[in-house]
């Protein structure tokens, strides 16, 4: 393709825009994502043939199904015996037969095809520019052919439930193209008609023995000013139009995970009918309003330098050596943009790829891997003030608590509910992918904590009451399934594993009993069920049982290399650089390891982080940003951000960032985007330690000045504004939504803006209902040389707040 480039330095340097002076070409990871939670699209911005790749949130392979392995129940005793005898490999082989599903290994999130617009004679152009404006959620491409400048805008409207494309030109009668549809799906019928529509109708594919039962219907409607319209068999041609608006409506027959009785035709037609009468300007206006309701809640300013005047692909290449704080801001807000675009109330949760996949057989099925990846997707939700967008995940967990009750009963003879390490649209709970990865029983336990977190941020007791059965069910499964370890005598889960990692000492098998991460998850599941029961004033006897069992769980262990042990046996390898560091779940996202409350565990966790190293895949780097923030080490957290904001292919561990700012595992996985957005928040504000900690991990590069608005903290607080200068808080405005003691931790002394001195905090923060449960004392190997951390001084105050009141603090 021939083209010449005109650099557009006139473009705004500070706006929140991903902009480029080159089209995407054939590379999907160059294209720009838009989405409204139901529909997703990747906009290539190619000139002579534009491509918009489409997705719909419920378009998955297969149909309602279960994939439990009923053989498990009779073999659990045998597997346990082997594990306790140190015959882990044999246990794994048996688990492959009796625990791993013989049916579906999970269904796939599927593409909805591609709309192409072929513009004759547009292969020679100048003034090329494309952008994704994440302040308005709209993609734009413009270029000049001859003396006509063409502009295309594309958005996925939130209120109007359609994707809309608007084509304009600087001269009338200039827009001519042929539109056609292509798809990797084998069972699709495409038609063009005289009613100015291009339609596609399909059925999803069968996969791993599960029949494809989803039907879908897409209608692409063309509205023109001037010009002519011709429908060919499977394409439409528009000639000499002044202005063209294209409305894309897609729907499926999916009602819920066990009901596919919807009417895809009626749905697609009704969404379209409502949108079609509205001109683009009207669609745009209500779209931007709906989007900004979420997006504008948080504003981050880390400063801007000249580096921001370059296109994103160049900025990525330069980031590790350039001073480009605005790229961090952009990446941060891009994470929020992606969550708003891929996870809306009433829709499906963001998959491994959010809502963007163009492959019939995507990596890991683009489904839900719930031993880290899906949880990570939702780490930014509460703290970056997008709590409503947690809803699709919360709904999925509620559904899993229904389907997973049968799994708990049939496979493990336990009450309550459970899930293994994957699930999909059909809410499968069976174990998949081989016992090494799949014989992990904590998907439900971990996910259930998201419901509790949603409560911690709002204090909404009605919500807590509504999800209490899910929390209780998660606890019940463990209460029934724990057994006494014959050697260590603690209550342990068996079989168990530390996700996807295996110590050499166990014959290269991951299968084990009572691993650290599991003990931490069960500690949380029990603690939250106990607290919820107390708050709701119910189930006292059950809470007592849980307390009793909780006291018999294995505590954390500090091993021979002064590390936090991953397993009950001290078998960690200090040269193991595995991407999963699951036993640091206790440091983040949980709060069982704290510099102030558990200094020894904190030091051990730090040693583990150092031993595992920085080099890793995308999501693992994202997790490490959060961990180093919890380590109060802003410079190390920033180093991980630098590693992550590196062009894909240039990092040793495989992780990095694509030109469209998608995170690379590699391949593309969206979890790393969300993980890093959460991590940047944790660098600026944490609420994990019974306090709200302002500027806990500010790196040197951001010290001089900055601000962030709108963060939310546990305990019902909103950090309306936080400003700093030279590493000191100069202003903090905090709203209390439910009242109670606000314990504030800051790097330098502050006072109330009215001059009033603050009360120094003392003792336990009794008023704060999110105070972490006391972590049991660790067991420490006598070979270890653990020391307490050398912590920077901080100032801690207690402020008694009232619901609805705003408190302003300034430097003293
Ligand atoms: C887990 C990880 C992999 C990958 C996959 C989707 O299995 O170990 O790295 O992210 O999920």
SS (HEC) of 406-446: HHHHHHHCCCCCCCCCEECCCCCCCECCCHHHHCCCCHHHH
Q: What is the dihedral sign for C-alpha 563, 569, 575, 580?
A: negative
The response to whether residue 373 sits with its C-beta less than 6 Å from ligand 1 reads yes
**pLDDT, tens digit, for every residue of 766-794?**
765 666 789 999 999 999 999 888 898 99
Average pLDDT value for residue range 73-86: 98
Q: To test the ligand 1 pocket, which listed residue (433, 500, 618, 620) has its Cβ within 8 A of the most ligand atoms? A: 500
Ligand 1 atom closest to the CA of 669, numbered from 1: 10
The response to whether residue 367 sits with its C-beta less than 6 Å from ligand 1 reads no
Q: How far is CA 102 from the centre of its chain?
A: 29
Average pLDDT value for residue range 457-475: 97
Ligand 1, atom 8, lies closest to the CA of: 500
pLDDT value of residue 15: 82
Closest CA to 588 of 350, 383, 746: 383
Q: To test the ligand 1 pocket, which listed residue (372, 376, 517, 675) has its Cβ within 8 A of the most ligand atoms? A: 372
Residue 23 pLDDT more than 80?
yes
pLDDT value of residue 8: 40
Show the DSSP H helices in 85-196 as ranges. Answer: 88-98
pLDDT value of residue 197: 98
The structure tokens listed for 418 are 């459970």
Average pLDDT value for residue range 182-191: 97
Ligand 1 atom closest to the CA of 620, numbered from 1: 9
Average pLDDT value for residue range 58-80: 98
pLDDT value of residue 788: 85
pLDDT value of residue 14: 53
Ligand 1 atom closest to the CA of 352, numbered from 1: 6
The residues, any chain, with a CB within 8 Å of residue 228's CB and separated by 6 or more, are: 238, 239, 240, 241
The response to whether residue 374 sits with its C-beta less than 6 Å from ligand 1 reads no
The response to whether residue 369 sits with its C-beta less than 6 Å from ligand 1 reads yes
% helix / strand / coil in the chain, to the nearest 5?
A: 30, 25, 40
pLDDT value of residue 764: 82
Residue 6 pLDDT more than 50?
no
The residues, any chain, with a CB within 8 Å of residue 754's CB and separated by 6 or more, are: none
Going by DSSP bridges, is the β-strand pair 692-694/740-746 parallel, antiparallel, or unpaired? parallel
Distance CA 47, CA 31 (A): 13
């Amino acid at each position: 393709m021939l083209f010449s480039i005109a650099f557009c330095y006139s473009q705004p340097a500070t706006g929140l825009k991903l902009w480029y002076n080159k089209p995407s070409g054939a590379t999907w990871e160059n294209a720009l994502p838009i989405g409204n939670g139901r529909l997703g699209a990747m906009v290539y911005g190619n000139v002579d043939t534009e491509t918009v790749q489409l997705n719909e949130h419920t378009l998955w392979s297969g149909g309602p199904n279960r994939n439990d392995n009923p053989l498990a129940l009779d073999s659990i005793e045998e597997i346990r015996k082997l594990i306790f005898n140190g015959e882990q490999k044999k246990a794994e082989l048996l688990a492959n037969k009796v625990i791993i599903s013989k049916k579906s290994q999970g269904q796939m999130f599927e593409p909805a095809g591609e709309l192409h617009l072929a513009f004759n004679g547009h292969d020679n152009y100048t003034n090329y520019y494309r952008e994704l404006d994440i302040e308005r959620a709209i993609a734009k491409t413009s270029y000049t052919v001859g003396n006509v400048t063409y502009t295309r805008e594309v958005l996925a409207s939130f209120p109007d439930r359609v994707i809309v494309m608007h084509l304009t030109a600087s001269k009338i009668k200039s827009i001519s193209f042929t539109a056609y549809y292509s798809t990797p799906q084998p069972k699709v019928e495409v038609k063009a008609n005289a009613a100015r529509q291009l339609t596609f109708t399909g059925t999803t594919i069968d996969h791993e023995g599960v029949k494809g039962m989803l039907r879908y219907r897409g209608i692409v409607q063309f509205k023109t000013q001037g010009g002519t319209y011709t429908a060919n068999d499977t394409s439409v041609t528009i000639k000499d139009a002044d202005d063209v608006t294209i409305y894309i409506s897609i729907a499926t027959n999916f009602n819920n995970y066990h009901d596919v009785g919807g009417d895809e035709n009626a749905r697609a037609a009704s969404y379209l009918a409502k949108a079609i009468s509205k001109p683009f300007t009207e669609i745009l206006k209500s779209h931007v309003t709906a989007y900004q309701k979420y997006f504008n809640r948080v504003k981050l300013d880390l400063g801007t330098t000249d580096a921001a005047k370059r296109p994103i692909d160049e900025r990525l290449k330069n980031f590790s050596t350039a001073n480009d704080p605005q790229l961090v801001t952009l990446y941060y807000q891009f994470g929020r943009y992606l969550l708003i675009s891929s996870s809306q109330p009433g829709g499906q949760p963001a998959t491994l790829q959010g809502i963007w996949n163009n492959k019939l057989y995507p990596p890991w099925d683009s489904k839900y891997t719930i031993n880290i990846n899906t949880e990570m997707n939702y780490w930014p939700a509460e703290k970056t003030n997008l709590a409503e967008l947690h809803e699709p995940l919360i709904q999925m967990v509620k559904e899993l608590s229904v389907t997973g009750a049968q799994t708990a009963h049939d496979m493990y003879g336990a009450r309550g509910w459970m899930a293994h390490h994957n699930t999909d649209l059909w809410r499968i709970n069976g174990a998949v992918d081989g016992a090494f990865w799949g014989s992990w029983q904590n998907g439900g336990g971990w996910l259930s904590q998201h419901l509790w977190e949603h409560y911690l941020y709002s204090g909404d007791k009605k919500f807590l009451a509504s999800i209490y059965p899910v929390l209780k069910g998660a606890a019940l499964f463990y209460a029934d399934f724990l057994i006494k370890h014959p050697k260590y005598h603690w209550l342990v889960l068996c079989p168990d594993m530390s996700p996807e990692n295996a110590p050499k000492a166990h014959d290269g098998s991951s299968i084990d009993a009572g691993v650290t991460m599991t003990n931490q998850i069960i500690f949380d599941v029990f603690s939250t069920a106990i607290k919820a029961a107390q708050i709701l004033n119910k189930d006292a006897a059950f809470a007592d049982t849980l307390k009793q069992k909780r006291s018999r769980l294995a505590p954390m262990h500090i091993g021979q290399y002064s590390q936090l042990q991953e397993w009950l046996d001290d078998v960690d390898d200090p040269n193991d650089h595995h991407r999963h560091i699951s036993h640091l779940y206790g440091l983040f996202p949980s709060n069982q390891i704290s510099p102030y409350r558990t200094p020894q565990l904190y030091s051990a966790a730090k040693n583990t982080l150092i031993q595992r190293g920085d080099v890793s895949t995308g999501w693992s780097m994202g997790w490490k940003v959060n961990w180093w923030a919890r380590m109060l080490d802003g410079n190390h957290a920033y180093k991980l951000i630098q590693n992550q904001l590196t062009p894909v292919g240039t990092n040793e561990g495989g992780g990095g960032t694509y030109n469209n700012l998608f995170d690379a595992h590699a391949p593309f996985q969206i979890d790393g985007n969300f993980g890093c957005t959460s991590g940047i928040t944790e660098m600026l504000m944490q609420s994990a330690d019974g306090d709200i900690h302002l500027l806990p991990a500010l790196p040197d590069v951001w010290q001089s000045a900055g601000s962030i608005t709108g963060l939310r903290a546990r305990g019902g607080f909103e950090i309306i504004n936080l400003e700093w200068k030279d590493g000191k808080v100069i202003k903090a405005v905090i709203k209390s939504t439910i009242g109670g003691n606000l314990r504030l931790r800051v790097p330098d002394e502050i006072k109330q803006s009215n001059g009033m001195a603050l009360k120094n905090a003392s003792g336990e923060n009794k008023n704060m209902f999110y105070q972490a449960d006391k972590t049991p004392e660790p067991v420490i190997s006598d070979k270890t040389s653990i020391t307490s951390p050398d912590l920077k001084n901080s100032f801690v105050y207690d402020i008694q707040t009232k619901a609805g009141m705003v408190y302003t603090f300034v430097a003293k």
